[in-house]
Amino acid sequence: MNLITRYLIKRLAIASCYALFAILALYSFIDLISETSVVGQNQYTLWVATKYILMQMPARAYQLMPLATLIGGLIALNQLSNNSELAVIKTSGLSTANIIGIIIKFSAIFAIATILLGEWLAPELSRRGDEMKANARAGQIAAAHNGIWIKQQGSMINVASMLPDNTLVGIKIWHYNDQFQLTEAISAEKATVASGKWQLHNTHSTTLANNRAQPQQQAEREWQTDIGKPLLNVLLVKPEQMSFTALTQYIRYLKENHQQTQAYDVAWWNKLIYPIATVVMALVALAFTPNSGRHSNMGLKLFGGICLGLLFFFTGRLFGFTTQLYGVPAMLSAILPTAAFGCWAMYLIRKQERR
């Protein structure tokens, strides 16, 4: 790697990091303001809300990485153009193809960072943050690696997971008396939640009375409880917060249980394509960089490039919703926006080069 390559990558990386931190700070501040509406519920204090926002920051950084690369690239490249450094670099023998290669090397660093965030750091911290928030707000609920634990008068309940259609899986219930002595243990394969009751399926129970244990097996059993869907929503896995590996396993699990997987298919393809979007946004930044700092519309190009990045972000979300509503293949919803912006960027770069 020669001196010019290192210099350009350094300038681009520093500007992109500054852009990422600035956007991240803005989004985190907005998220904290929105959390103040629920501050004060049970043990959910402002400090807990602040910790929750901090734990969500890696997931937010993952989402904003392509936009930060675009804005940072625009700022750095336009500064180079303003100072005539870009023109000097080109006249020294560096072709447009060479500059594109440098841009791809720079964006590859952020693409790798995107993969690391999306596969390891962001999913784990987001899960722990959601569990902490649920524990603080609900009071009677505790989230753990094996599902959630709910305590109510005379009962302790453990639910392993919840499917997208709100079917509960892996239910265990323990009833105890006023002396906290176990009176009945119930396990159920699945349960459906209705107003004021759970309908348990394939249940096995053991009743303890008079120093005797009486086992019983039932295909259906109704259990009266006031634990409803709002309290159980912490179990519902958000596809955008899952890693690529976890999504692959969960989609397989949903198909085995005959559940809809469209939202998770979209998230799976987005996880696969998203690092490439970081490279595409860096090329868009190059496409909106003038050859000379004497261009009077440089500020307009910078503004247009930022708007284009926002357009890319919201177009991806729109395509994801379209897939779920109209049955468009998930692969197309993930690939088309990135491919379209990539082709447009290359067209603009070639058009600018021919001038």
For residue range 144-177, list pLDDT tens digits in order.
667 788 888 888 999 988 887 778 899 999 998 8
Nearest to 238 by CA among 331, 119, 126, 328: 126
Q: Which amino acid is at 99?
A: I
Cα Rg for the chain, rounded, in angstroms? 26
- Which structure tokens are listed for 95? 């072709």
Q: How far is CA 120 from the centre of its chain?
A: 12
Statement: residue 143 has pLDDT above 70? no
Tokens 């503004």 label which residue?
A: 303
SS3 at position 178 = coil
What is the per-residue pLDDT for 18?
94
Q: Which amino acid is at 220?
A: E
Nearest to 31 by CA among 53, 64, 54: 53
Statement: residue 8 has pLDDT above 90? yes
Whether 235 and 161 have beta carbons less than 8 Å apart is answered as yes
- Which structure tokens are listed for 218? 């039932």
- Which structure tokens are listed for 192? 């459906």
Q: Are strands 155-162 and 168-176 parallel, antiparallel or unpaired?
A: antiparallel
C-alpha to C-alpha distance for 63 and 5, rounded to whole angstroms: 27
What is the per-residue pLDDT for 2?
84
Nearest to 118 by CA among 15, 216, 201, 241: 241
C-alpha to C-alpha distance for 70 and 309, rounded to whole angstroms: 7
What is the per-residue pLDDT for 355?
65
Burial class of residue 19, CB neighbours in 10 A (0-12, 13-18, 19+): buried
Query: pLDDT of 181-232, one tens digit each?
Result: 899 999 999 998 887 789 999 999 999 888 888 899 999 999 888 777 666 7
Statement: residue 262 has pLDDT above 90? no
What is the per-residue pLDDT for 151?
82
* Average pLDDT estimate for 237-248: 86
Statement: residue 309 has pLDDT above 90? no
* 2-6, 51-55, 138-142: least confident range: 138-142
Q: Which amino acid is at 74?
A: L
* Average pLDDT estimate for 23-47: 91
Tokens 């929503």 label which residue?
A: 233
Tokens 């907005």 label which residue?
A: 30
* Average pLDDT estimate for 3-25: 93
Nearest to 113 by CA among 282, 316, 354, 302: 282
Which stretches of the chain are DSSP H helices?
3-35, 46-82, 85-91, 96-116, 122-138, 229-232, 244-256, 262-287, 298-326, 330-354
Statement: residue 60 has pLDDT above 90? yes
Whether 188 and 169 have beta carbons less than 8 Å apart is answered as no
Q: Which position has the higher pLDDT, 327 or 305?
A: 327
What is the per-residue pLDDT for 134?
79
- Which structure tokens are listed for 164? 């997208």
Q: Which position has the higher pLDDT, 112 or 293?
A: 112
Residue 338 phi, psi (nearest 5): -65, -45
Secondary structure letter of residue 164 according to DSSP:
T
What is the per-residue pLDDT for 209?
83
pLDDT band for 268, please (50, 70, 90 cuts). very high
